[in-house]
Amino acid sequence: MANHKDIIYGLYNDEEDLLKAVEVARDQHLDIMDVYTPFPVHGLDPLLGLSESRLHIGAFIYGAIGTLTAFLGMTWIFTKDWPIVYGGKPYWAVPSFIPITFELTVLFASIGMVVTFYVICGLGPGVVNPTIDTRITDDKFCIAFEKGANESGAAESFLSSTGASEIHSKTI
Amino acid sequence: MTSFEFTGRHRMTLLIGVVIGVLCMAGTWFFADDAIHSRFWSNFLHNSVFFTGIAVMAGFFLCASITAWAGWYVTFKRIWESFSLFMGIGFILMLILALGTYFGWHHLYHWTDPALLDVNDELYDPIIAGKSGFLNKSWYLFGTIFSVGIWFFIMTRIRALSIKEDEGNDEDFSSHRWMRWWAAAYLPLAGFLSAAMIWQWVMSVDSHWYSTMFAWYSGASWFVSMLALTILVLMILKMKGYFASTSNEHIHDLGKLLFAFSIFWTYLWFSQYMLIWYANVGEETIYFKERIDNYPVLFYGNLLINFVLPFFVLMRNDTKRKWGSLGFIAVMVLFGHWIDYFLMIKPGVLHTAHEVAAHASGHHGDHGHGAHEAIGGFAMPGFLELGTGIGFLCLFLYFVFSSLTKAKLEPTHDPYLEESLHHHV
């Protein structure tokens, strides 16, 4: 990895402690690098001032592309490219297009969202992501600060005063 | 505010609505009807089935939530309890229709004509005769009494247990355990019997036609209407200062359900349409041909109001939380599904009325082209239809609000109360 970061982080045992600590950090205007939790914690996003995800806007656009691809594709195939009469229906048999249009809409939206999510998060095959502590995927809640982002000693004293069970430094 | 006060002014407003409904029904009967009162009876059937169905579905969702150990709905569960208790009135309404079928007060159903079953009669109809094991007056009467009766009975049990829980001495949760038993019993009874009753009450209006999707489709229509009405009643009561602990998070979830079940309804509507369109069997296709040719505005408007509108408006996160957009969609969808039922019932009734009229004038077997009588209220809902609908809606709300006064507005000792109070989406 090119950009190594020196970080200091504290581990909390309970989500309630974490939420209170993040509130304190906000009041002290501390610059938090990130917060890691094993599961989504309700009320954390607004405390951290995170804006709403825009992934769903992408989903709508991908879905709309899927709708158009399927519907216009079938329209072109069955009216211009290779018109076939089947079941005594007209060439442009709209009701029979609807299920495939629906399916391609869902397919495009879901695959588009997955790809977008992976690209934005920097995930993918062969990518090594730094792990702060393996227990944050299990039972620990972590607040991490970048060294130098806050006044020296501020992060440490904040972590110890808000009830972090462990405080560590690490280079990732 | 722990208890709901149904003030005199609100009672008066709703009663005026009921009186408007009664006047419209009387006006239909005396001034704007044919000789066999098709318009009056079809309006009566339309609204009775619609609002009884909303009550059935409120009970169904309540019981499904109890059985699934859900907790989010608890702060406003009295609304669904009160909705479901409207089945008491629904029982009377449907009983009037069933007795009418049994004693021949109305001609809503073509299959009630005994000549159709007589092999020696020139009117003998092998299709109807083949269905007579299910489509007969005795089954209609018995099925109505049994189904609505047992649904209503179970919902009164659940209501009584729910009120008993409020006393707070339910340490071992025995009341809730019993409630769970009743809820589990209600689910299959409501599921299967409502399908059977929809076939009898609504689908058999088009006596020759049948569709295996029909019960699902009209049941979904009831369900969406129930959700829309729940949202509207909650909003009205919150504006009056009640249901303080029912937050925007609950409203948001109801909005999601309204969005999801609007799509579910569309899925069933389209599945029914596409299968019939694809197979193109004449005796099935006639149902849609009739509606597309003679009711194009309602037919396409139905899809526009009940699918396109909620789909695009409620797709966003914030439109489900803003009362303006959600309330607007709830009103539109409630009206839209009322129209949906109009479209299910009216064409078939009109057809039967024409046949009866043709009969009377001696043109046997002349399907629908005999002696026409000009009766309104069939091509489009007229003022009398809308007035009747408003009357039934006000009757429904009057009953719901008076049920709400009979218990604490928010339950105090439901085991899932805390979960509901902290509901967060």
Domain range annotation of chain B: 8-421
Asked if pLDDT for residue A1 goes beyond 70, the answer is no
CB atoms within 10 A of CB B298: 19
A116 and A65 together in one domain: yes
CATH code (residue A139): 3.30.70
Mention every residue, 6+ apart, whose C-beta is less than 8 A from residue B348.
B110, B205, B206, B207
A82 and A109 together in one domain: yes
pLDDT at B57: 97
- What pLDDT, in 10s, does the model give residues A99-142? 999 999 999 999 999 999 999 888 888 888 778 888 999 999 99
CA distance B110 to B207: 6
Residue B379 φ then ψ, to 5°: -75, -35
Flag whether A16 is in a domain. Answer: yes
pLDDT at A127: 83
Looking at CA atoms only, how far is residue A95 from chain B in angstroms? 6
Structure tokens at B198: 């929809």
User: What is the value of pTM for the model shown?
Assistant: 0.91
CA distance A166 to B16: 69
Contact B280 A52 (CB under 8 A): no
Flag whether residue A83 sits within 8 Å of chain B, measured between CB atoms. no
A165 and A138 together in one domain: yes
Contact B274 A99 (CB under 8 A): yes
CB atoms within 10 A of CB A40: 8
pLDDT at A21: 92
Mean pLDDT of A28-33: 88
Flag whether A47 is in a domain. Answer: yes
Q: Which letter does DSSP use for residue B3 in this model?
A: B
pLDDT at B34: 83
CA distance A33 to A76: 52
Flag whether A128 is in a domain. Answer: no
Q: Which of residues 245-284 of B touch A (CB under 8 A)?
A: 270, 273-274, 277-278, 280
pLDDT at B363: 55
Flag whether A127 is in a domain. Answer: no
- Range(s) of the domain holding residue A44: 6-52+133-171
Asked if pLDDT for residue A95 goes beyond 90, the answer is yes
A142 and A115 together in one domain: no
pLDDT at B370: 40
Looking at CA atoms only, how far is residue B274 from chain A in angstroms? 6
ipTM of the complex: 0.83
- What pLDDT, in 10s, does the model give residues B99-155? 999 999 999 999 998 888 888 888 899 999 999 999 999 999 999 999 999 999 999
Contact B424 A42 (CB under 8 A): yes
- What pLDDT, in 10s, does the model give residues B168-208? 887 888 999 999 999 999 999 999 999 999 999 999 999 99
Q: Which residue of B has its CA nearest to A52?
A: B317
The H-assigned helical ranges of B202-247 are: 214-239
Mention every residue, 6+ apart, whose C-beta is less than 8 A from residue B322.
none
Helices H / strands E in chain B, number of each: 15, 0
Flag whether A65 is in a domain. Answer: yes
Domain count within chain A: 2
CA distance B153 to B149: 6
Q: Which residue of B has its CA nearest to A57?
A: B316
Mean pLDDT per block of 10 residues along chain B (425 residues) reads 86 96 94 87 96 97 96 94 96 96 92 89 90 92 96 96 88 90 97 95 93 94 97 95 92 96 96 93 92 93 96 93 96 97 93 84 52 63 93 97 92 91 87
Which residues of B fall within a CB distance of 8 Å from A56? 317
Q: Which three-class secondary structure state does DSSP give residue A146?
A: strand
Which residues of B fall within a CB distance of 8 Å from A64? none
A60 and A114 together in one domain: yes
Flag whether residue B318 sits within 8 Å of chain A, measured between CB atoms. no
pLDDT at B123: 87
Flag whether residue A54 sits within 8 Å of chain B, measured between CB atoms. no
